[in-house]
Each structure stands twice: as structure tokens, then as C-alpha cells.
Amino acid sequence: GENVEQHPSTLSVQEGDSAVIKCTYSDSASNYFPWYKQELGKRPQLIIDIRSNVGEKKDQRIAVTLNKTAKHFSLHITETQPEDSAVYFCAVLPRGSQGNLIFGKGTKLSVKP
């Protein structure tokens, strides 16, 4: 089955710096890659997603890049702000899945003012 690995597990940056989180997956047929943000004690919320027919997608300070050949995708946050502090989860939807998103273990991002 699909295996998702996420790195780093923790990331600390200064306010205004960029943050990059990377995920690798094993099944080359997987075709949907969302990122969820979970603030402490809160529900996960979708922040951006990308489909396998697209290499990059941007939404203001957030971007996701997908390298299908290498089977990895990355979340990029520019001009980080303290409110970006949270745990970020990547996820992969294997082709043919009934909705069984496979999540990474998460990255705890801390943005220091």
C-alpha cells in the first residue's frame, strides 16, 4: 500500500523567513496531494492541494510543488508570520481509493516573532 513520509518533524523559523516541508510517497499512481493545517487543539483544515496533472500551485504566501518522477511534493510558506505556527500534515490519495487519504506524521512549525 501507499507509504507517506514527511520531513522535518519540527521546524523553527524567524518571522519573515520561508519554511519548506517535504513529503515523499511510494505509489506512483497516487493522484491527489492535499496539505492540512492543525492548530493546537483545533480541527485540521485544508490549506492547499494539488493534483497529479499539475506541477505547482500558489495561493498568496503558500505554494505546493509536485515532482511525480521523484514521488515527492513540498509545501512552501513565504514571509512566515506567528499565526502560521501549527502542525502541518501532507496527505496522499491513492488511485482507486474510496477516500482513504494517507496522512504524513506531521511537521510542527514554530514561527518566532
Partner 1 sequence: GAGVSQSPRYKVAKRGQDVALRCDPISGHVSLFWYQQALGQGPEFLTYFQNEAQLDKSGLPSDRFFAERPEGSVSTLKIQRTQQEDSAVYLCASSGGTDMTGELFFGEGSRLTVL
Which spans of this chain sit near partner 1 (rule: CB under 8 A)? 6, 31-32, 34, 36, 41-46, 49, 51, 89, 91, 93, 97-106
My answer on whether omega of the bond before 8 falls inside 30° of 0, hence cis, is yes
CA–CA dist 101, 97 (Å, integer): 8
Task: Provide, rounded to whole angstroms, the least separation between the CB of residue 23 and partner 1.
Answer: 10
Pick the closer one to partner 1 by CB: 41 or 113: 41
Q: State in angstroms the smallest separation of the CB of 15 from partner 1.
A: 25
Least Cβ distance, residue 18 to partner 1 (angstroms): 23
All residues at 6 or more sequence positions from 93 whose CB lies less than 8 Å from its CB, including other chains: 30, 31, 32, 33, 34, 99, 100, 101, 102
String of DSSP letters for 74-95: EEEE-S--GGG-EEEEEEEB-T
Nearer to partner 1, 14 or 94 (CB): 94
Q: Which is nearer to partner 1, 44 or 80 (CB)?
A: 44
Least distance from C-beta 32 to partner 1, angstroms? 4
